[in-house]
Amino acid sequence: MAKTVRLSDEEQEAIRIKAVALNKKLMEKNKQPLRDSEVVHAVISLALEKISVGASGNLILED
């Protein structure tokens, strides 16, 4: 498997926006801010535990 993943400009911008919002909340709690790449790694780790195939054949995140 490749160690790099290509992201579209829109995906990169969405990650940046989310990272800014998360970092504001982290700083309010006196926590260290995260780099964009750290946010992506966290999302992957959290999502891999919950991703499955729904009845329609689409990928879904389960609770």
Per-residue confidence (pLDDT) for residue 20, from 0 to 100: 98
4 part of a folded domain = no
- Report if residue 44 sits inside a domain: yes
- Whether residue 17 is contained in a domain is answered as yes
Can you tell me the distance from the alpha carbon of 8 to that of 47, in angstroms, rounded to the nearest whole number? 20
Q: What is the pTM for the complete model shown?
A: 0.81
pLDDT computed for residue 58 by the predictor? 98
Do residues 39 and 19 touch, judged by C-beta distance below 8 A?
A: yes
Query: What pLDDT is recorded for position 33?
Result: 98
The pLDDT value recorded for residue 3 is 87
Q: What is the domain extent for residue 18?
A: 9-61
Q: Is 2 a domain residue?
A: no
Is residue 1 in a domain?
no
18-50: per-residue pLDDT in tens? 999 999 999 999 999 999 999 999 999 999 999
What value, to the nearest 5°, has the Cα angle with vertex 25 and ends 34 and 6?
Answer: 40
Report how many domains make up the chain: 1
What band does 9 get if pLDDT is binned at 50, 70 and 90?
Answer: very high
